[in-house]
């Protein structure tokens, strides 16, 4: 692995002989970041950051630090103190107005990418399929971003910040992340809460994505730290599903009535949403040892295991 050979820093001086490599995980109070921090512990000294959500319970092997990535001084101070060998940058806002999205997703990524590059730390940056407009589908890595939402726009600009930092970086574009352990992802929690209350759930049949199980994505991000690959990589699940199909599967898996789900068309909603943001992951499948199973395979493999309620 890449980190086993670390003996010199970017200035040519020897690093601590025999020490475990240091990993910084931003946004680790979120679903993906929490999984990354937990899975990386056996091989890394992990420092995980949170903004307002607080440390995740039960991660005794992780050093938790509060960090506002939108504050460059805080980012530089923490990077200087920790001297990480690698950074997995999961922190982001998925909702908010343009000002908030630009401060966190664009400015925050700029601060993290520049600080990582200046210290010779490898960066794995998590991006999204929503950098595309959804007209084409089966997007490959060289396809140019063309976002049509404020969130997608902010993440496309964040990708540019990573490129401009000129460090050793991977931009991981991924899709809908789903999880139920140790906690539900935000979309699944919303879905289960409404279904449990018998409230109507409108899900689109014409909006297609490549949902990915959080553990697969976390493991792929950690694996990428140890590889020499740089640039964009699409990492998503093997199965293409509409939002409607995905929702039905999740309710069935959690043992809930599927009748609250009502099929609809995004085209009839009046909302400006990308319809087909599916990702071609052939490059990742050839590069990674981490499997990227589809939703049906993941749910089948986990049937019968304890799952939290909404």
Q: What is the mean pLDDT of the chain?
A: 91
- Torsion angle in degrees (nearest 10) through CA of 111, 78, 150, 293: 110
Clarify whether 151 is annotated catalytic.
Answer: yes
pLDDT in tens, 265-280: 998 888 889 999 999 9
Task: Write down the catalytic residue from 50, 139, 151, 178.
Answer: 151
Whole-number Å distance between alpha carbons of 127 and 90: 8
Predicted local confidence at residue 80, as pLDDT: 97
Among residues 50, 53, 42, the alpha carbon closest in space to that of 20 is found at 42
Predicted local confidence at residue 183, as pLDDT: 83
pLDDT at 11 over 70: no
pLDDT at 5 over 80: no
Judge if pTM exceeds 0.85: yes
Set out the domains of the chain in order of their start, with CATH numbers.
19-179+211-238+279-302 (3.40.50.720)
Contact 258, 199 (CB under 8 A): no
Whole-number Å distance between alpha carbons of 61 and 43: 11
Least confident of 139-153, 161-175, 246-260, 293-307: 293-307
Predicted local confidence at residue 7, as pLDDT: 37
- List, in sequence order, every residue forming a beta bridge with 87; answer none if it has no partner: 24, 123
Least confident of 5-19, 39-53, 58-72, 120-134: 5-19
Contact 118, 80 (CB under 8 A): no
Q: Is the peptide bond before 182 cis (omega within 30 degrees of 0)?
A: yes
Instruction: List all residues 6 or more positions away from 160 whose beta carbon is below 8 Å from its beta carbon.
Output: none
Place of tokens 């990573």: 162
Whole-number Å distance between alpha carbons of 44 and 290: 18
pLDDT at 54 over 80: no
pLDDT at 299 over 80: yes
pLDDT at 126 over 90: yes
Whole-number Å distance between alpha carbons of 191 and 248: 10
pLDDT in tens, 191-211: 999 999 999 999 999 999 999
């Amino acid at each position: 692995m890449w980190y086993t050979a670390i003996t010199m820093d970017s200035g040519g001086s020897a690093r601590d002989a025999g020490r475990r490599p240091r990993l910084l995980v931003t946004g680790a109070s979120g679903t993906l970041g929490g999984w990354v921090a937990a899975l990386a512990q056996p091989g890394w000294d992990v420092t995980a950051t949170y903004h307002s959500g607080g440390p995740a319970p039960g991660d005794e092997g992780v050093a938790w630090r509060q960090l506002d990535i939108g504050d460059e001084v805080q980012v530089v101070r923490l990077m200087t103190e920790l001297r990480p060998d690698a950074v997995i940058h999961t922190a982001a806002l998925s909702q908010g107005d343009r000002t908030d999205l630009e401060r966190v997703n664009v400015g925050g990524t700029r601060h993290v990418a520049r600080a990582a590059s200046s210290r010779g730390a490898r960066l794995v940056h998590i991006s999204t399929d929503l950098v595309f407009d959804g007209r084409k589908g089966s997007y490959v890595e060289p396809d140019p971003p063309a976002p049509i939402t404020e969130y997608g726009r902010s993440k496309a600009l964040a990708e540019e910040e990573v490129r401009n930092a000129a460090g050793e970086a991977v931009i991981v574009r991924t899709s809908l992340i789903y999880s139920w352990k140790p906690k539900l992802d935000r979309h699944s929690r919303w879905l289960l809460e409404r279904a449990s209350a018998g409230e109507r759930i409108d899900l689109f049949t014409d909006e297609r994505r490549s949902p990915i199980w959080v553990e697969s994505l976390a493991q792929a991000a950690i694996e990428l730290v140890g590889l020499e690959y740089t640039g964009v990589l699409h990492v998503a699940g093997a199965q293409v599903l509409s939002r409607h199909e995905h929702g039905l599967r999740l309710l069935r898996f959690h043992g809930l009535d599927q009748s609250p789900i009502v099929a609809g068309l995004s085209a009839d909603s009046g909302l400006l949403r990308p319809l087909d943001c599916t990702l071609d992951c052939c490059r990742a499948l050839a590069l990674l040892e981490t499997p990227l199973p589809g939703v049906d395979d993941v749910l089948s493999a986990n049937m019968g295991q304890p799952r939290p309620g909404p």
